[in-house]
Amino acid sequence: MSLTNRILIAMAAGILFGSLLNALLHGLALPVGVRDFIEQGLIGGFFDVLGRIFIASLKLLVVPLVLVSLICGASSLGDSARMGPIALKTLGLYLATTAIAVTVALVFAGIIGPGESMDMAASATFEATPPPPLSDVLVNIFPSNPVRAMAEGEMLQIIVFALLVGYAISHAGEPGRRIAGFFRDFEAVVMKMVEILMALAPYGVFALLVKLFAQMGLGAILDLATYFFTVVAVLLLHAFVVYSLLLRSLAGLSPRKLFSKMRPVWAFAFSTASSGATLPVTLNTVERRMGVHNSVAGFTIPLGATINMDGTAIMQGVATVFIAQVYGIDLSATALVTVILTATLASVGTAAVPGVGLVTLALVLGQAGLPVEGIGLILGVDRLLDMLRTAVNVTGDAVVTLIVAKSEGQFDAEVFEQVGRQESVDPVETSPPTL
């Protein structure tokens, strides 16, 4: 069976088994010993450990992968004077797609009115942490110590450092060429590690989802059904309609091909709820299966995972309207424009880890003059939405990468058109050693 199918089956099985455990724990009067075994032995023990090991192994690859692939990309572009235009195009598209995402979210939420018939303002509690000053945010992009940046996983700092190294390599003559060869080999090795890990993904994905669904109170969705399904509807609309239109009109590429190749990436994004942890798989997929040259993908994917969060912006747009309606506050035209601007910027500032979109929502609400404690209202359903919006976040990165790569001629149409290339993971070569 193909790896993609195995991952998808593991996903479905994890959701089912987890929900079953949840139903057992909440629906039956189990003997104490059995309950303890399920809660502590299985959910909080076995599946938790397996899931955490899986996420740790994914994260382990992020820093080496971003560093080497960006150095390779920048060094192969450095002397062609395309670095600047590529960076500008990428940034412009990332910001534009996010602004579109919030706008669509605001329009839909305005029409559907998810919070209109609700009166639960009194039950909301949420403490917002004050955001750091803008000057600090800017200064912090530039690393004073690259080793610390890597040790702490500061993605934007690593990007700046890698771009500088890559650019210098391309201008350093013979020594530059020698070291570029080393980084290219290094990149091939790290990519192989990603593929090995992908072969193990069905187990990791299964464990993560069993634990999440066993613990998730899906009952909260019923109370917040209109909010929940408005966010889901806009996420689907953005992923399948807006991205399709953009990909067709700006790159002339088939959205269907993109979606079929994104399936394993979605499974990773959904089960980890982290664009950061999914990054190795996104990068591997756009380079190996979609034919984007490393000179573009090595830059756009790490940057996108860090600053481009269309799904998060959608949640923030719908949440803003929802909270305003619950509190009976009318959003003026100025407030709506403020929401579009701040949600776009908040998406830049949202770290690529689970749940942060909810924290930066405080910023958006604050700017729009809405009560920040309103976030407390939507906490209960946020984890599931986080999983879904992370899948949209990583899709946005892939779409923009394809558009930029196509426009720069850094794209291999043959690889993109190929079907079944996802099975590049050789099960014999990459199967873990039997102990």
Positions that interact with ligand ASP (CB under 6 A) = 273-276, 309, 312, 350, 352-357, 386, 389-390, 393
Provide the H-helix boundaries in 216-272: 219-223, 225-237, 243-246, 255-272
| Closest approach of ligand ASP to the CB of residue 362, in Å | 12
Q: In the complex, what is the shortest distance from the CB of residue 413 to ligand ASP, in angstroms, rounded to a whole number?
A: 29
Q: What's the chain's Rg over C-alpha atoms?
A: 22
- The residues, ordered by sequence, that sit 6+ positions from 255 with a Cβ below 8 Å of its Cβ are 240, 243, 244, 247, 248
Tell me whether residue 76 or residue 316 sits nearer to ligand ASP (CB atom): 316
Report the distance separating Cα 220 and Cα 262, nearest Å: 30
Q: How far is CA 434 from the centre of its chain?
A: 33
Burial of 53 (0-12, 13-18, 19+ CB in 10 A): middle
| Helix/strand/coil for 114 | coil
Choose among 348, 270, 299: nearest CA to 99.
348
Among all chains, which residue has been given the structure tokens 């899931």? 51
3 state SS of 407: helix
End-to-end CA distance of the chain: 24
What one-letter code names the amino acid at 247? L
CA distance 93 to 133: 26
From the CB of 354, what's the least distance to ligand ASP, in Å? 5
CA distance 192 to 184: 13
Q: Which is nearer to ligand ASP, 42 or 128 (CB)?
A: 128
Cβ 180 to ligand ASP shortest distance, Å: 32
Tokens found for residue 32: 């104490």
Judged by beta carbon, residue 268 or residue 416, the one nearer ligand ASP is 268
Cβ nearer to ligand ASP, comparing 74 with 323: 323
Count how many residues are written for the chain. 435
Q: Which is nearer to ligand ASP, 180 or 358 (CB)?
A: 358
CB of 84 to ligand ASP, least distance (A): 27
What is the rounded CA–CA span in Å between residue 283 and residue 351?
A: 18
Contact 155, 302 (CB under 8 A): yes
- Toward ligand ASP, which CB reaches closer, 82 or 383? 383
What is the smallest separation between the CB atom of 279 and ligand ASP, expressed in angstroms?
10
Q: How far is the CB of 312 from ligand ASP (least distance, A)?
A: 3
Kindly state the smallest distance separating residue 353's Cβ from ligand ASP, in Å.
6
CB of 421 to ligand ASP, least distance (A): 26
**Distance separating alpha carbons of residues 62 and 276, to the nearest angstrom:** 7
Burial of 189 (0-12, 13-18, 19+ CB in 10 A): exposed
Task: Give the residue at shortest CB distance from ligand ASP.
Answer: 357
The one-letter amino acid code at 341 reads L
Nearest to 53 by CA among 155, 197, 192: 197
d(CA 160, CA 156): 6
Closer by beta carbon to ligand ASP, 246 or else 394: 394
Q: Nearest distance from residue 101's CB to ligand ASP, in Å?
A: 12
| Cα(340)–Cα(355) distance, integer angstroms | 20
Instruction: Decide if 385 contacts 233 (C-beta within 8 A).
Output: no
Measured from the CB of residue 361, what is the shortest distance to ligand ASP in angstroms?
9
